[in-house]
Amino acid sequence: MAGTCEDALGALSARLGLPLEFKDGSCSFNVGGQPFTITNDDELDRLVVSALVADDLPDAPSRKLMTDLLDLGFGMMHEGLPAVGRDPETGFIAAFAVYPCTRLVAAEFPDSFTKFVSFAARLAERLDAERDAPPSASSPESDDTHYDMLSSGYFHV
């Protein structure tokens, strides 16, 4: 692991007040009851942070939700922005962000992680709300939640 990544993880560990123990390149823990994993990808010299945001998509996702999720999929193309994906084997929906060690500023990583936690929590809430809403309540006209993180900046949800 690059020194910058080690320093960043040390700063995050101090902020969280818990040791980050890696086993087979990954470290898993909960923040506010939500599962997070940090993977140290030595081969590509980067950290990958991920969060489980839902066990699966709602049975009848609205067009608005699907559009927002597809928009979020482009996060990886913009440096520092998270993205969203679905694990085809489990159906789990996860948010993730990639931090190249060569560009990582150790002192800023805890704040970036905090923003990612907020992003993941809000996305999980959005998916839960869609799952619990009657079909007419999740129509684009009545949905005032907007995921405009790509055009308006870092982690705006």
Take residue 7 and report the two structure tokens written for it.
Answer: 């320093």
Taking the model in full, what pTM does it have? 0.81
The full set of domains in the chain, from first to last, is 3-152 (3.30.1460.10)
Residue 15 Cα distances to 9, 28, 52, 100, 113, angstroms: 10, 16, 21, 20, 10
CA atoms within 13 A on the CB side of 43: 2
- In order of 86, 137, 153, the CA distances from 49 in angstroms are 15, 32, 19
First to last CA, the chain: 31
SS3 call for 116: helix
- Per the CB < 8 A criterion, the answer to whether 104 and 113 are in contact is no
pLDDT in tens, the chain (157 residues): 557 889 999 999 999 999 999 999 999 999 989 999 999 998 999 999 999 999 998 888 889 888 888 888 777 776 668 999 999 999 899 999 999 998 889 999 999 999 999 999 999 999 998 887 766 544 444 444 444 443 434 443 3
